[in-house]
Amino acid sequence: MKGIIGHAVRVPAYRIAREEIARAWQSSSPGGYKRCVRFDEDSLTLAAAAAQNCLQALSGTRVAGLIFASTTAPYLERLNAGIIAAICDLGAGSFVLDAASSLRAGTTALQLALAAVPDDSAIVVCAADMREAALGSPEEMQYSDAGAAVAVGTQNVIAELLASATTNDDFFDSVRRDRDERVTSFASKFSSDYGYIAPVTRVVKEILAKAGKVSGEIAKFVVSSPDRRAHLQLAKKLGFNEKQLQDIGFEDGGLTGAAMPLALLSAALESAKPGDLIAVASFGNGADALLFRVTDQIQCYKPRVPLAAQKAVALDYASYTLYRKAREFFRSADQGLEISNVFYAKEEHQITRLHGSACRHCGMRQFPLAQVCVGCRKADALDEVALARTGTIYTFSEDTLYPSPLPPTVMAVVDLDGGGRIYCEVVDCLPSEVRIGMPVELTFRKLKEGGGLYHYYWKCSPRRTA
Amino acid sequence: MSASLADKVAVIGVGCTKFGENFGQSLQEMMVEAGTAACADAGVSLDDVQAAWLGTFSPGFSGGKATITLADSLKFRGRPITRVENYCATGTDAFRNAAAAVAAGQYDIVLVLGAEKLRDRPVRGLQREGIHPYFEAGSTAPGIFALAANRYMHTFGMKRETLAKVAVKNHANGASNPKAHFQMKITEDQVLKAPMIAYPFGLFDCCPTTDGAAAAIICRADLASKFRKDRIVVRGIGLAVMSGKPYLDPTCDYLGFPATQAAAQQAYKAAGISDPVKEVDFAEVHDCFTWTEISNYEDLGLCRKGEGPRFIEEGRSTLQGDMPVNPSGGLKSFGHPVGATGVRMIYEIVTQLRGEAGERQVKNAEIGLAHNLGGPGAVACVVILGREG
């Protein structure tokens, strides 16, 4: 049996009321909130957070590969999925691949992963986007940032693949060239009829026919969307009622690009029951559809940080100006931090994989990698180990001197569970929430930009896991 | 430290520029002013000086990389010059190295010069240099000391009001010091209401960034009487280095500075001091932040761990107390041009021991202690000077 063995979403903690965007542009708001990145997040960190949560829920399944799907990957030449694989501490034998350029890159990657996954292994498909729309456009309010991950495999399958279909058509409704920062939108009734409803209808009918099912038998129809109205029209045309249609969560989210179908799928799986049929579809220069049947195994699967727990964290940008400042902070604060590839190659195991040393004599775990034990000072018995990504704040400071678009910068000394101490920023909470003894989890974030590179390292946030 | 250094080295001359925003003076001009003043104070010509130690942390735009700043400014050429850099303990470590060379008999008369020009930088605060671009990103000087202060407050229940008393005391002392960066008294209320820098440190809990230079001429103790009637000798020196990354060291408890404890023990042992609060008459300590001074009371053994807050609250470290601390105004008020600070402490101790400190004079000052702390509590140096006869 092949199918889904794990899933996770990553909802940014920050958001902005669409009213605030409308106020800035003297335009009208469709209501609700747009979820958006903190200044230190991007598509890579959102996808990495989802992938890590997905993998941790799988506990030790061999990972054969990792695919990162996004239209806004930070690097155009440097394998983004390779960085995510390192964050997830995958071995050099895993294949890694960036899937790009289409809003349905995530579902196409999912189809490829399902076709390719070897027995007793997993392939992780993670997707994220933080798309920039034209300033003052309706899309600027509709687009929302998110990450999601879905792991496929052959053991402990929670949703079995029944059918899949794809259609490819060079129909453009939203476009961004290599030189463009913002999406050029061709949103219109023509686009939604011919670029969305028509191709998605075709592939959904195809999977239902292949599996011998009709729309009335589907428990959840999960489909990405170019706008809310077209979403409802499509469902109606295919014969799905409102209860069957997976809500896109526009009130506290929005159109999340390549992450959208996988994020909605994860949300549907959170509330799925054994036997449920879930149809997943997405669009973007064509369309993809997959049909899954939920298994009894779903009752054993607990998402590490459920969607509701993530949405419970909501830090509102008080103004559009602050939202933009956070989004563009590093562009004006390029610290020119230049490290060599020699330095990074030597330090990658510590910086990105968070490896430390464990002493065979006294047992003490320590960070960074040590040649002489900090506990017993013996020099011959240190093993490289992966350190825990959870811990407790030993002490902290609230620093207004350090440049940040969200001052004060809260820096904490964190004692990791099982040993090792690191020093990092506390994010995704108000400074007033931080206290000594607070349990935290580590989150991989952007530190700085400069020297032609994005510099990522670990930060921490209040522990949301059960 | 070997006990053999004790009483072998005398300080015969000191000099110090005005500390502050010396916008009109270059690093080199400040070095010439301080070095020339120290020579004049000692009654020696620079030609008589056989070697020099230059303490500077971050020489900046015109400071050069190493020893040349001293060679080029004072035209001190054809003789050994060594640059010393040891975080904010640079100045006292330069003094320690110079004293060791004299005690070893290598030279008779040498110059120690500490200098820093921080106010020509385009950024706020003291730049942290040489830190790991990832593991230590986000750290600032107030931030890393606030880590310790917050853990201490959490453990011992100290309040910001107690910290403020340190700032009030040191500003009161500095108010009568013409060379101090700040010559103004402040109130506890002002300290508490000042803009926050890094909790619990408001603006007045932090020492300033300062320009300045200080110098000392030291010689073999048996030659001192040739130059001066008073006789001020080095009684003991200690220096200890701990981790420069306590935030990565699971053995660091953040309740004080073990480097200071170790350096103090070395210096006390050399000087034969067993009860510092009784045997030392006053101290110039490293109050980069208000909490640092409170920790210093404990780490220097002036009181037990956890009793530092009471030490300041009871007024024991005021000019009138039984253990005046920072009669000069300290880093808080005198200012903190990093490499100069340790040598400035030597300048202040000598001035006090000679009875020339004016309004801020400590009564019956015979033994004074200088304490310099560098990095995030990584390096501490303690120098004890005594007046004989």
Average pLDDT, chain A: 96
Cβ distance B147 to A411 less than 8 Å, yes or no, reads yes
Q: Residue A375 burial by CB count (10 A; 0-12/13-18/19+): exposed, middle or buried? A: middle
Inter-residue contact A33 to A313 (CB < 8 Å): no
Q: Tell me the per-residue pLDDT of B133-183, one tens digit each, with 9 for 90 and over.
A: 999 999 999 999 999 999 999 999 999 999 999 999 999 999 999 999 999
Q: Tell me the per-residue pLDDT of B284-336, one tens digit each, with 9 for 90 and over.
A: 999 999 999 999 999 999 999 999 999 999 999 999 999 999 999 999 999 99
Inter-residue contact A281 to A237 (CB < 8 Å): no
Query: What's the 3-state SS for chain B?
Result: CCHHHCCCEEEEEEEECCCECCCCCCHHHHHHHHHHHHHHHHCCCHHHCCEEEEECCCCCCCCCCCCHHHHHHCCCCCCCEEEECECECHHHHHHHHHHHHHHCCCCCEEEEEEEEECCCCCCCCCCCCCCCCCCCCCCCHHHHHHHHHHHHHHHHCCCHHHHHHHHHHHHHHHCCCCCCCCCCCCCHHHHHHCCEEEECEEHHHECCCCEEEEEEEEEEHHHHHHCCCCEEEEEEEEEEECCCCHHHCCCCCCCCCHHHHHHHHHHHHHHCCCCHHHHCCEEECCCCEHHHHHHHHHHCCCCCCCCHHHHHHCCCCCCCCCCCECCCCHHHHHCCCHHHHHHHHHHHHHHHHCCCCHHHCCCCCCEEEEEEEECCCCEEEEEEEEEEC
Q: What is the pLDDT of residue A338?
A: 72
Confidence of residue B2 (pLDDT cuts 50, 70, 90): very low
Q: What is the pLDDT of residue A333?
A: 67
Q: Tell me the per-residue pLDDT of A109-128, one tens digit each, with 9 for 90 and over.
A: 999 999 999 999 999 999 99
| Mean pLDDT within A452-457 | 94
Give the Cα separation of B116 and B94 in Å (integer).
14
In this complex, is the C-beta atom of B242 within 8 Å of any C-beta atom belonging to chain A?
no
Cβ distance A400 to B196 less than 8 Å, yes or no, reads yes
Cβ distance A347 to B134 less than 8 Å, yes or no, reads yes
Domain boundaries, chain A: 3-331, 335-462
**Residue B183 token pair:** 């010559």
**Nearest CA distance, B5 vs chain A (angstrom):** 31
Give the Cα separation of B178 and B373 in Å (integer).
24
- In this predicted structure, the answer to whether residue B61 has a pLDDT above a threshold of 80 is no
- In this predicted structure, the answer to whether residue A73 has a pLDDT above a threshold of 90 is yes
Average pLDDT, chain B: 95
**Nearest CA distance, A399 vs chain B (angstrom):** 4
Phi, psi (degrees; rounded to nearest 5) at A10: -130, 110
| Mean pLDDT within A348-371 | 97
Query: How many percent of chain B have pLDDT more than 70?
Result: 99
- In this predicted structure, the answer to whether residue B203 has a pLDDT above a threshold of 90 is yes
Q: Tell me the per-residue pLDDT of A198-223, one tens digit each, with 9 for 90 and over.
A: 999 999 999 999 999 999 999 999 99
Q: What is the pLDDT of residue B53?
A: 98
Give the Cα separation of B7 and A399 in Å (integer).
45
In this complex, is the C-beta atom of B196 within 8 Å of any C-beta atom belonging to chain A?
yes
Q: What is the pLDDT of residue A262?
A: 98
- In this predicted structure, the answer to whether residue B343 has a pLDDT above a threshold of 80 is yes
Residues of B with catalytic annotation? 88, 336
Q: What is the pLDDT of residue A334?
A: 67
**Nearest CA distance, A81 vs chain B (angstrom):** 21
Domains and CATH numbers, chain B: 3-123+210-226 (3.40.47.10), 141-206+232-388 (3.40.47.10)
Q: How many of the other CB atoms lie within 10 Å of CB of A142?
A: 21
Q: What is the pLDDT of residue A336?
A: 66
Cβ distance A436 to B150 less than 8 Å, yes or no, reads yes
Query: How many percent of chain B have pLDDT more than 90?
Result: 91
- In this predicted structure, the answer to whether residue A138 has a pLDDT above a threshold of 90 is yes
Secondary structure of residue A24 in the 3-state scheme: helix
Confidence of residue A58 (pLDDT cuts 50, 70, 90): confident
In this complex, is the C-beta atom of A363 within 8 Å of any C-beta atom belonging to chain B?
no
Query: If phi over 0 gives left and psi between -120 and 50 gives alpha, with beta otherwise, what is residue A428?
Result: left
In this complex, is the C-beta atom of A368 within 8 Å of any C-beta atom belonging to chain B?
yes
**Nearest CA distance, A151 vs chain B (angstrom):** 30
Q: What is the pLDDT of residue A274?
A: 98
In this complex, is the C-beta atom of A392 within 8 Å of any C-beta atom belonging to chain B?
no
Topology (CATH) of A3-331: Peroxisomal Thiolase; Chain A, domain 1 (3.40.47)
Nearest-by-Cβ selection for A422 from B142, B143, B248:
B248
Cβ distance B136 to A423 less than 8 Å, yes or no, reads yes
Q: What is the pLDDT of residue A341?
A: 92
Secondary structure of residue A7 in the 3-state scheme: strand
Q: What is the pLDDT of residue A133?
A: 97
Candidates B121, B124, B134, B254, partner chain A, best to mutate (most A CBs within 10 A): B134
| Mean pLDDT within A328-347 | 82
Task: Tell me which H or E stretch contains A16.
Answer: strand A14-17
Inter-residue contact A384 to A369 (CB < 8 Å): yes
**Nearest CA distance, A321 vs chain B (angstrom):** 24
Q: Please, which residues have CB within 8 angstroms of residue A340's CB and are 6 or more apart in sequence?
A: none
In this complex, is the C-beta atom of A425 within 8 Å of any C-beta atom belonging to chain B?
yes
In A, minimum Cα distance to B148 occurs at: A395
In this complex, is the C-beta atom of B144 within 8 Å of any C-beta atom belonging to chain A?
yes
Phi, psi (degrees; rounded to nearest 5) at A351: -65, -45
Query: Among B116, B347, B96, B99, which Cα is nearest to B216's?
Result: B347
Confidence of residue A335 (pLDDT cuts 50, 70, 90): low
In this complex, is the C-beta atom of A398 within 8 Å of any C-beta atom belonging to chain B?
yes
C-alpha to C-alpha distances, A293 to A214, B20, B252, nearest whole angstrom: 14, 75, 54
Q: What is the pLDDT of residue A466?
A: 59
Q: In this structure, is the dihedral angle defined by the CA atoms of residues A15, A19, A20 and A24, taken in order, positive or negative?
A: positive
Q: What is the pLDDT of residue B3?
A: 46
Q: What is the pLDDT of residue A380?
A: 84
- In this predicted structure, the answer to whether residue B63 has a pLDDT above a threshold of 80 is no
Give the Cα separation of B232 and B41 in Å (integer).
13
| Mean pLDDT within A306-312 | 95
